[in-house]
Chains A and B, each alone.
Chain A
Amino acid sequence: MQVYLPIAEMSVDALLLLGIGFGVGWLSGLFGVGGGFLLTPLLMLIGIPSAVAVASAANQTLGASISGLIAQWRRGNVDWRMGLTLFAGGLLGSALGVQIFALLKRWGQVDVAVSLFYVVILGIVGALMVRESVTALLRRRRGAAPRRKLHEHTWLHGLPYKMRFRDSRLYISVIPPLAIGFGIGLLSAIMGVGGGFMLVPAMIYILGMPTAIVIGTSLFQVVFVSANVTLLQAWQVGSVDIVLTLLLLAGGVAGAQFGAAMGTKLRGEETRALLGLLVLSVAFGLAWNLVQTPSRAFTLGPLS
């Protein structure tokens, strides 16, 4: 069943898009992540232009994260003050990111740049995930667990402009959260990800936030930053494809329900190792696309 995507200017099988949306939604329900970091590369692998893939995936991330945010907010797991601080950084980062994106698009380098970003970041993230779950599996066999010091003081605690984050039980400088928000916002704009998979560890290990409110607060940042990215991408780059997004969201909503229902029944380490391998294989796929000899060395198109 072919549908024509008006912005991507190509025809794609609607069932394939629904299937991708379902699969990514399933993973995001399972792990409570937005899933953008898998969606954008998958879309690129089926031939959708990177600009459209990034903008539409940001939109899908927004849809997938909102219900999570509402659920966490009802349970009181959102630190608004920290969320707003992160978002302030994220707003700047994503605005700058969209400018860079628009510039790359004008130069005609956007496909290469987005692919490179993905290969590097997915490669690192995937490798870390696999390594972590393999250590966890080995440790389970040996049955020993090292304990981490609860609160460590680093040079980050010497920075000025300290602020009290009551819900996070923190009294820290606003610079690290602003910087983290900025970095994630930049990645969000260029890669079309929500950034939760990097934001969560950053909030725990760098800021030292209690884990109970990390997920909700990160979702707060993800929702508002990806909303900003979608808006700016649509306005400045004009690359949000509504047909594509609708199909992905339709599949994603259904998949997320399945994933959330299964999430409690699966063994953590094995599933995480599989996720890590999946991330790595997507990175390899993109890297292969970058270096393989193209089937057509030249393409001709009308000059606008």
Chain B
Amino acid sequence: MPGTEEAATAATKAKRDRVFLVVVDDSVEQAVALRYACLRARKGGGRVALLRVLEPVELVEWAGVGVMMQEERRADAERLLAGLAAQVSDLTGGMPILIIREGEAREELLGLIDEDPRISILVLAMATGSGGPGPLISALTGRHASRLKIPMALVPGGMTEQELDRVT
């Protein structure tokens, strides 16, 4: 049947075009989310996007100091993303999309998803401690759940590399 074949090509193309968005924060479990996204992209096609949200600089009494703070935060974020990008390209063979935004993490994440239609799935890892899954997940599954326009994958933060390999 020609119809099925057409649908199948369309599906592979869509698979190649899909983008896994990983939020880069300073948590331990973020590495698990990144690995999961990379493995999915490698095995099933697609790209990885890394988002780093910078905290805006609080008011300091000297303007020059404030400007320097902002520049240094941006430089740190660029260095961090460049390091992770190398990891991603080792795992998937392709360069990830790197995004740096400034503001409040949840608002910037939702804003980015609204603005960028390429992003097809959000990958977040849950914290392993007893303090809940993490602020972003709590917000996006709770009070702000209705604002999320794409599906979200939640990876348990305690999964090992072998386990991640098995499920992707």
A258 in contact (CB, < 8 A): no
**B72 on interface, CB distance cutoff 8 Å:** yes
A272 proximity list for chain B (CB < 8 A): 59, 61-63
Listed residue (B65, B66, B73) with the most chain A CB atoms within 10 angstroms of its CB: B65
B150 within 8 A of A: no
Q: Are A136 and B56 in contact (CB under 8 A)?
A: no
Smallest Cβ-Cβ distance to B57: which chain A residue: A268
Contact mask for chain A residues 59-89; partner B; CB cutoff 8 A; 1 contact, 0 none = 0000000000000000000000000000000
> Is A145 on the interface with B (CB-CB < 8 A)?
yes
What count of chain B residues pass the 8 Å CB interface test?
17
The docked-state distance in angstroms from the alpha carbon of A176 to that of B101 is 37
In the assembly, what is the distance between CA of A264 and CA of B56, in Å? 8
Is there an interface contact between B66 and A129, defined as CB atoms closer than 8 Å? no
Closest to A205 in B: B64
Within 8 Å by CB of A129, from B56, B61, B72, B76, lies B61
Does B72 lie within 8 Å of A215, measured CB to CB? no
Q: B115 within 8 Å of A by Cβ?
A: no
Closest to A30 in B: B59
A204 touches B65 (CB 8 A): yes
Interface residues of B in 37-58 (CB under 8 A from A): 56, 58
B167 within 8 A of A: no
B60 proximal to A (CB < 8 A): yes
Q: Known contacts A212-B73, A264-B56: does B62 contact A129 (CB below 8 Å)? A: yes
| Cβ contact of B65, chosen from A133, A147, A211, A271, cutoff 8 A | A211
Any chain A CB within 8 A of the CB of B110?
no
Q: What's the minimum C-beta distance from B28 to chain A, rounded to whole angstroms?
A: 15
Q: Is B69 an interface residue (CB 8 A)?
A: yes
Q: Does B68 contact A (CB under 8 A)?
A: yes
Report the Cα distance A275→B62, complex, angstroms. Answer: 10
Contact, CB under 8 Å: B65 / A31: no
Chain A nearest CB from B53 CB (Å) reads 14
B67 located at the interface, meaning its Cβ lies under 8 Å from any Cβ of chain A in the complex: yes
Report the separation of the CA atoms of residues A55 and B56 in the bound assembly, to the nearest whole angstrom: 36
**A32 partner residues in chain B, CB cutoff 8 A:** 58-60
Within residues 279 to 300 of chain A, which ones have a CB less than 8 A from any CB in chain B?
A: none
| Inter-subunit contact B61/A268 (CB<8 Å) | no
Chain A, 211-263, CB within 8 A of any chain B CB: 211-212, 214-215, 263
- Interface contact A268-B62, CB-CB below 8 Å: no
A selection of 20 A-B contacts at a CB cut-off of 8 Å is A30-B59, A31-B59, A32-B60, A132-B64, A135-B63, A147-B71, A148-B68, A200-B65, A201-B62, A201-B64, A210-B72, A211-B69, A211-B72, A212-B73, A266-B59, A268-B63, A271-B59, A272-B59, A272-B61, A272-B62
Contacts beyond the supplied A145-B67, A147-B71, A201-B64: 14 A-B pairs with Cβ under 8 Å: A31-B61, A32-B59, A32-B60, A132-B62, A197-B61, A200-B65, A204-B65, A210-B72, A211-B72, A212-B69, A212-B73, A264-B58, A268-B66, A275-B61
